Structure formats: structure tokens, C-alpha cells
Amino acid sequence: QVQLVESGGGSVQAGGSLRLSCQASGSIYSDRFMAWFRQAPGKKREWVANIYTTGGVTLHADSVKGRFTITQDYAKNTLYLQMNTLKPEDTAMYYCAATGLTGFGSRPLRSSTQYNYWGQGTQVTVSS
């Protein structure tokens, strides 16, 4: 079982930046997708970005492309989300997620139902 713990959320004004972290433990970090999702009150959980851990190939949602960047420190089993030029509509609970062991060909993996393991979330609030 993969255990995930997010950190780095907080409050920031529009145009600011935050970096979220997700520490993974409990299982092998390689050969799976790691992802960030977000969910605002009353809205469906939204995929933000993912990375295939073996090799580090990434995908980003159109809504955040050019502003957010998913990265990892493979040796530390840590996932990051660098968020720049934040907007009020980015306000949400941000969740780290991981699939089970899988191959790269299972992309794009943009649905929350495709992820087996979840952190408890970290709140990001962006004020105008």
C-alpha cells in the first residue's frame, strides 16, 4: 500500500506562487503514475497533472498548462506541484494520488477512479 502525505498549501493573493509537496512511502515508487487533483466545494474532482515515475514524463491539464509544473525527486519518493500566476479559480483542496503498478501505455489517466491511493489533501486559497 502506498501512503501519501501532502504539504505546502496556504493562502496567497492572485498572481502569487506556491509549491506543494507529496511524500510517498510504503511501497515501490517506480512504475506508476503520480498525480495532482483538485476539488473546490460543489465541484467535481479535477485532474491537474500527472507524471510517470519511471522516466518522469508529464502531462498537464489545459487549465493549468504554462502556470503549473509537476516534478518529482525520484530518490526521495517526493512529488511536487509548482504553481505560479495563481488565480482565484485555482482555490481548491489539492490531492496527491498514485496508481498501482502499471505501464506507461495506460496514459492519459485523467480520472480520479483510475487512482488507487490518495493523500488527505492540502488547501490552496487564492484571493483576488
Predicted pLDDT at 128? 95
Q: Is the dihedral of CA 107, 112, 116, 118 positive or negative?
A: positive
Concatenating the DSSP letter of every residue in 81-101 gives EEE-S--GGG-EEEEEEE--S
- Helical residues (DSSP H) of 1-128, grouped into ranges: none
Supply φ then ψ for residue 126, to 5 degrees. Answer: -120, 120
Predicted pLDDT at 118? 98
Predicted pLDDT at 61? 98
Predicted pLDDT at 16? 98
Predicted pLDDT at 42? 96
pLDDT in tens, the chain (128 residues): 999 999 999 999 999 999 999 999 999 999 999 999 999 999 999 999 999 999 999 999 999 999 999 999 999 999 999 999 999 999 999 999 999 999 999 999 999 999 999 999 999 999 99
Calculate the alpha carbon distances from 37 to 75, 91, 128 in Å: 23, 12, 22
Predicted pLDDT at 103? 97
